[in-house]
Amino acid sequence: MLQNVPERVVRIASDISALTREKLGSVAGVATATKMLAINASIEAAHAGPSGAGFGVVAKEIRAVADEVGDLSAQLDTEMAPLVDELKRLGDLLVMQVRGTRLSDLALHVIELIDRNLYERSCDVRWWATDAAVVDACADPTAERLAYASHRLGVILSSYTVYLDLWIADAEGRVIAHGRPDRYASVTGRDVSGEEWFKQALQTQDGGEFAVVDVTRNRALGDATVATYSTAVREGARSDGQVIGALGIFFDFAPQAHAIVTGVHLDAEERERTRVLLVDRHGTVLAASDDRGVLTERVDLAKGSDEGAGVYRREDDTMVGFSLTPGYETYRGLGWYGVITQAPPRLEEQ
């Protein structure tokens, strides 16, 4: 397979190194044996007296050849060893560059996909906060207006299936309407004044701003993993209007993120040894292609001097490629990373 070519280069370099050392060892062995033969021949020539003189000359020449072969073997070993080692080192660098660049590029693709998805969520919350039913419910929370606002949110949810629920809270932080009262009956009347999404919504400066908090589990929504976006509801739906409440929208993060991390283009063999992750700025796993460690595992990336993107190899020879969120349009991102870890192919596959 094409993606295994760098590993094959390194394997061949290792084989060349082993073969070279083996053959040089064989040559040295022949030289030693020849030298011993010459010594023995010299001894026998001495025993033969004058009649063995000619044979002694030949033995001397054989010994000289053996010495020369031995010297040549030693020189070759000295000169070729660093060249073979350099070949292997360059092969390792090739693996890092080819595999690493690909993994880093795939990690960037993963984080870009989630960024574009979440950018749409930031647009949704700002748009829906100006819906007349939402504004009217906060301005004058009569039973009739609250019922209509709940109905309106339900209509939105029927079209935007990526959300678990949409909540309207008054300025004091009490949920006065939401889109799925049949599914989440305990939400109405819930005090969210201490929740981060609500507090950040009230701090937005105008209708063009929004707030977003990191992925968490929401007990009120069946302990689902959600990404929460919010903004202030303003009087008259004006961008500079007085804050009269807040809208929080709860993105059903788990299935959407899982589709992204499992959708990376990998062949069957490569997929078995590859793990695709989304992690937050602290390294906490938000989504994993193998479904392990979500919100419990932490990945410490060796970022080095470039925190934006990079690649490195762990001690177990696993390659790690990562890329920092680049953001999308007005969505700057939350410092998340796309991360791909890949174990080396098995020897029989190289």
Query: CATH number, domain at 31?
Result: 1.10.287.950
Q: Where are the beta strands (DSSP E) in the chain?
A: 163-170, 175-178, 211-218, 224-234, 243-252, 274-279, 285-288, 309-313, 319-324, 337-342
pLDDT on residue 3:
47
Q: Is residue 311 part of a domain?
A: yes
Residue where one domain finishes, among candidates 252, 277, 301: 252
Domain that holds residue 306: 257-349
Could you give the C-alpha distances from 320 to 152, 338, 349, in angstroms and in order?
A: 46, 11, 20
* Average pLDDT estimate for 199-203: 97
Contact 298, 310 (CB under 8 A): no
Q: Is residue 112 part of a domain?
A: no
Q: Are residues 136 and 173 in the same domain?
A: yes
Contact 206, 240 (CB under 8 A): yes
Q: Is residue 107 part of a domain?
A: no
The model's pLDDT over 21-32, given as tens digits with 9 standing for 90+, comes to 666 665 566 556
pLDDT on residue 6:
54
* 149 phi, psi to nearest 5 deg: -60, -40
pLDDT on residue 82:
73
Q: Decide if pLDDT at 92 tops 80.
A: no
Q: Are residues 191 and 236 in the same domain?
A: yes
Q: Are residues 128 and 244 in the same domain?
A: yes
Q: Are residues 327 and 219 in the same domain?
A: no
pLDDT on residue 47:
57
Contact 320, 311 (CB under 8 A): yes
pLDDT on residue 42:
60
Q: Are residues 134 and 12 in the same domain?
A: no
pTM of the model: 0.73
DSSP state of 314: -
Q: Are residues 200 and 297 in the same domain?
A: no
Q: Are residues 243 and 127 in the same domain?
A: yes
pLDDT on residue 179:
97
Cα 343 from chain centre:
13
pLDDT on residue 2:
41
Q: Is residue 235 part of a domain?
A: yes
How far is Cα 325 from Cα 108, in angstroms, rounded to an integer? 7
Domain count, the chain: 3
CATH number assigned to the domain comprising residue 268: 3.30.450
Q: Is residue 323 part of a domain?
A: yes
233 token code pair: 């509801």
pLDDT on residue 230:
97
Q: Is residue 210 part of a domain?
A: yes
More confident residue, 250 or 334: 250
Calculate the average pLDDT of the chain.
83
Q: Is residue 345 part of a domain?
A: yes
- Interacting residues of 155 by C-beta distance below 8 A, sequence separation 6+: none
The model's pLDDT over 37-81, given as tens digits with 9 standing for 90+, comes to 556 556 655 655 565 455 555 556 555 555 655 665 666 667 666
More confident residue, 137 or 58: 137
Q: Are residues 210 and 311 in the same domain?
A: no
Contact 135, 170 (CB under 8 A): no
More confident residue, 348 or 231: 231
Residue where one domain finishes, among candidates 221, 236, 252: 252
The model's pLDDT over 216-260, given as tens digits with 9 standing for 90+, comes to 999 999 999 999 999 999 999 999 999 999 999 999 999 999 999
Q: Are residues 248 and 137 in the same domain?
A: yes
Dihedral (C-alpha) 13, 17, 19, 22: value to the nearest 10 degrees? -170
CATH number assigned to the domain comprising residue 157: 3.30.450.20
Q: Is residue 84 part of a domain?
A: yes
* Average pLDDT estimate for 182-189: 95
pLDDT on residue 1:
43
Q: Are residues 27 and 127 in the same domain?
A: no
Percent of the chain with pLDDT over 70: 71
Helix (H, G, I), strand (E, B) or coil at 58: helix
Per DSSP, the residues of 162-180 read TEEEEEEEETTSBEEEES-
Residue where one domain finishes, among candidates 202, 233, 252: 252
77: region left, alpha or beta (phi > 0 left; psi from -120 to 50 alpha)? alpha
How far is Cα 246 from Cα 166, in angstroms, rounded to an integer? 11
How far is Cα 33 from Cα 44, in angstroms, rounded to an integer? 17
Q: Are residues 247 and 277 in the same domain?
A: no
pLDDT on residue 142:
97
Q: Picking from 137-141, 144-148, 285-289, 342-346, which range would have the lowest pLDDT averaged per residue?
A: 342-346
How far is Cα 254 from Cα 288, in angstroms, rounded to an integer? 10
Q: Are residues 278 and 309 in the same domain?
A: yes
